[in-house]
Structure 1
């Protein structure tokens, strides 16, 4: 992870910036997942979600109309609140007389696919970020060892010692701020899972009797 993904300022702003960096990089739950050494979060790592656990009826996947596709994209956006999502679904149902469980089920599966893809990128990004933290920690420790060795020499290289001290201070600051930001970012996979479930409940509510 490049330092460009690190931003100064308020911690929550840093966390949001970090989340964006992680989800754009190429490529839910409650106890530390010790089975994956690259997973740094307190939240247990759940690699894949199951759409069938959120949507109770079988769905035959069929192509969606342009309007239905637009609804899928709208419901997939986290900046669209659940109240707004409900209003979009209600308006869609009022405009389309052929709305049924299969159509709304297909819309849900479209939303689920989008959320699951974003979530997978985020999980992969968190693992890469964790490895970068491990590498940074090793760099800090290596600099400390070198500085201690230089300090014991009779003819000390004060320029090098000063440079190492400055590097350690900077690296430790970055390490601490990244660790704090990661605490917020680790919540995001769980929030995405909850959103997928909430969208399913909204769509199910609008299935005609």
Structure 2
């Protein structure tokens, strides 16, 4: 059973990774080379239907505590594996229980990922507006310089504005590159945690 689950997870991860790496030009405000996927599917990561199970208060508290820890990016996969193992020894390895943990993790990380995607869109919109402002200033500089008696004071002011705006644009672009990687990293983390939890389950 675990072998089949591992194969299923590997195939799903391969499909999802290919999916997010394909460029999407349908949204002009999306600056990333990764395809824009606004919402993830829990069913793609956990192949069984979500179960509504009744947990005791200690179980519910333990599920929430583990899920909260696993959702932290600073917790690497080796530590995550140990946390899951400790949880299983104390609370059992029932598959529904592990699914309950993953459901909590999925909700937390998915919401974080959605906020990041929204932030990327906001930064991109600002970058588009700034690029247009730079282009307009350069066009105005060219127009002024083509006049018989150019207004050099205005040209100098426009040139200073363009230099400043261009500097801001380039600095923001570096942060956009980093931000674009974040949704993909969160998605990969979800797949990895789903695999660990499924392997720990009966």
TM-score tier (shorter): 0.7 to 0.9
Stretches of structure 1 lacking an aligned partner (at least 5 in a row):
1-27
Q: TM-score, normalised by structure 1?
A: 0.79
Matched, 1:70 2:65: yes
Structure 1 partner of 2:40: 49
CA deviation string 1:137-194 (max 9, x = no partner): 0110111122223333455443332221111011112222322332232121111111
What is the CA-CA distance between 1:77 and the residue it aligns to?
0.9
Structure 2 partner of 1:177: 171
For 1:56, what is the secondary structure of its paired residue? coil
Q: TM-score, normalised by structure 2?
A: 0.81
CA deviation string 1:6-54 (max 9, x = no partner): xxxxxxxxxxxxxxxxxxxxxx522221211111111111222111111
For 1:179 and 1:171, how far apart are their aligned partners in 2? 12
Structure 1 partner of 2:123: 129
Report how many residues are paired: 180
What is the CA-CA distance between 1:201 and the residue it aligns to?
0.7
Stretches of structure 2 lacking an aligned partner (at least 5 in a row):
1-18
For the pair shown, the structure with the greater C-alpha radius of gyration is 2
For 1:112, what is the secondary structure of its paired residue? helix
For 1:111 and 1:176, how far apart are their aligned partners in 2? 35
What is the CA-CA distance between 1:59 and the residue it aligns to?
2.6
Counterpart mapping for 1:1-209 below 5 A: 29-62=20-53, 65-96=60-91, 98-208=92-202
For 2:191 and 2:137, how far apart are their aligned partners in 1? 48
For 2:199 and 2:97, how far apart are their aligned partners in 1? 13
For 2:115 and 2:167, how far apart are their aligned partners in 1? 27
More helix by share: 2
